[in-house]
Amino acid sequence: MAIAILFLPIHLHGDEIRVIFPNQQYRRVALRTFYMGNVEYLSGQELAQVFSVNSYVNDDVNKLVLYFREGEVKVTAFSSFIIVNDLALQMPMPTYFDGSEYYLPARAFFSVLGATVLPGARFDDVRRAFVGPDSYTAFNIFSARVESKQNGTLIRVRTNEEFDTRNVVRYITDNGWLVVQVPGGIVDTLAVSRSSLGGIIRSSWGRQLEKSAELRFKLTDRISLPEVYQIAGGTELHITIRNPVRPKGDRTKEMREQWYLDTIVIDPGHGGIDAGTVGRGGLMEKTVTLDVALRLGRLLKRTTNMKVVYTRDEDVFIPLWQRTKIANETGGKLFISIHVNGVKNRTAHGFETWLLAPANTEEAIEVARLENSVIALEESNHAYQEFSDEALILSTMAQSAWMKESEALAAIMQEQLSKQLGAPNRGVKQAGFLVLIGATMPKVLVETGFISNRIEEKKLGQNEYRQNIAEGLYDAILLFKQKYEGAMLAEQNQ
């Protein structure tokens, strides 16, 4: 049955009516109302939310059903009749419906509720408030408080009745939410979303299901299923999460099984306002790195079916953290950051490849300092707050899953560049390069030459030399792909 929708100016003259729960003085809630003529209307769905009752909209027959504990209230669009537990009651004016919300004449509807499913509830003219029944407690599950403990995280959920915890459903979603469903629970969803957080819980919210209250907690780490305990007297539910114990190597194995070199991330160092190091002749690092990167990308695209992702493909400034983010979000399987060296000692020349690890020599610290200094150019360095010492250690450890592969890639790259360039092979080195932190894949940073050396600056300015660098890197990637995809697949088949 189709119903003509009346377009009424219901959003004009908006007002509100407070809702008071004598049992829950701390609650400050109000229902928005609208005047049509001199009759004040409110949204049925909003009322359901405030009273924490389920509601159901039947679009076929234009009915709204509210499920109070004391019974069902059925409202029909444009009808003045309300059905409460099969009893038909008539209001002095009809409801309105705007295609999604059902609007009820506030005073008349409050009278119906007070006489039926909310016994004793009344409208207080002085306070312009709808006062719930004295004993009415809309909820039996309230806000949660998360406490960080030595061996895990404790979520204390405030309740006002005892629940049978044997029936509590717990599971963890693929995207890291812990879901706890408490049968018989009626949850104050607003309060739960404002719970105090901590431990491994990043956010929380709740929703009312037909027969259960559902609480959701966003986890920052993988956990096994927590235990749920009822505290005697029914004042709290305790959800206890033990610190994750991750068997060594497990995660690595999992990652290895998924490793197939189909996407390669090429990161041309610097760009835009960050020129990198600049040679005496005026050649800028950012120009060389971009050109070499594009040459390498073209070679890969022309002869393989690998997807090539550039962190930048023009002369723009990209913060370091964003480069890693691009690598992870595009499903990169290999990350190659291309740079050009610059040092005070103008005789230094040749190429070298770097791995992410705590810097262990003066020289390594100096090179890392130079490449990391770009952060000073970034407008806001909030993204690096994560790089506290502890985060650095954790990140380095997480990356150690790919350390073996990164080392192998670096070695192959040095070998292949050596064949191409006829410049000194300065070997594989280690330092704490920020651009390498966070990328969850084998990753290296290559310093293709010294712009601070007059002869090498000249070479780096030539197309032919840049092409040679790109070809060296290209050969290295193909060799690495051949060797490691094979090894990993063989490992899987054992």
Q: Which residues bind Zn ion (CB under 5 A)?
A: 269, 276, 339, 371
Residue 275 CB, shortest distance to Zn ion, in Å, is 10
C-beta closer to Zn ion: residue 274 or 475: 274
Lookup: tokens for 151: 């061996």
Residue 291 CB, shortest distance to Zn ion, in Å, is 14
C-beta closer to Zn ion: residue 239 or 367: 367
For residues 306 and 299, the answer to whether their CB atoms sit within 8 Å is no
C-beta closer to Zn ion: residue 107 or 339: 339
C-beta closer to Zn ion: residue 339 or 429: 339
C-beta closer to Zn ion: residue 17 or 367: 367
Point out the residue whose Cβ comes nearest to Zn ion.
339
C-beta closer to Zn ion: residue 320 or 441: 320
Outline where DSSP puts E strands in 209-312: 212-219, 227-230, 236-242, 263-268, 307-310
Residue 269 CB, shortest distance to Zn ion, in Å, is 4
- What gap in Å lies between CA 198 and CA 200, rounded to an integer? 6
∠ Cα 98 104 106 (to 5°): 140
Residue 308 CB, shortest distance to Zn ion, in Å, is 21
Residue 160, C-beta contacts closer than 8 angstroms, at least 6 positions apart: 137, 139, 140, 142, 234, 235
User: Helices (H) and strands (E) in the chain — how many of each?
Assistant: 11, 26
Residue 321, amino acid: W
Residue 458 CB, shortest distance to Zn ion, in Å, is 19
Residue 377 CB, shortest distance to Zn ion, in Å, is 12
- What gap in Å lies between CA 144 and CA 138, rounded to an integer? 17
C-beta closer to Zn ion: residue 239 or 431: 431
Q: Which residues on adjacent β-strands are paired with residue 215?
A: 180, 206
Lookup: tokens for 474: 């290209």
Strand order in the sheet with 443-450: 307-310, 263-268, 334-341, 443-450, 351-356, 425-431
Residue 440, C-beta contacts closer than 8 angstroms, at least 6 positions apart: 255, 328, 398, 399, 402
Q: Which residues on adjacent β-strands are paired with residue 307?
A: 263
For residues 469 and 336, the answer to whether their CB atoms sit within 8 Å is no
C-beta closer to Zn ion: residue 73 or 417: 417
Q: Which helix (H) or strand (E) holds 459?
A: helix 454-460
C-beta closer to Zn ion: residue 276 or 297: 276
Residue 276 CB, shortest distance to Zn ion, in Å, is 5
Residue 144 CB, shortest distance to Zn ion, in Å, is 47
- What gap in Å lies between CA 151 and CA 234, rounded to an integer? 25
Residue 467 CB, shortest distance to Zn ion, in Å, is 20
Outline where DSSP puts E strands in 425-479: 425-431, 443-450
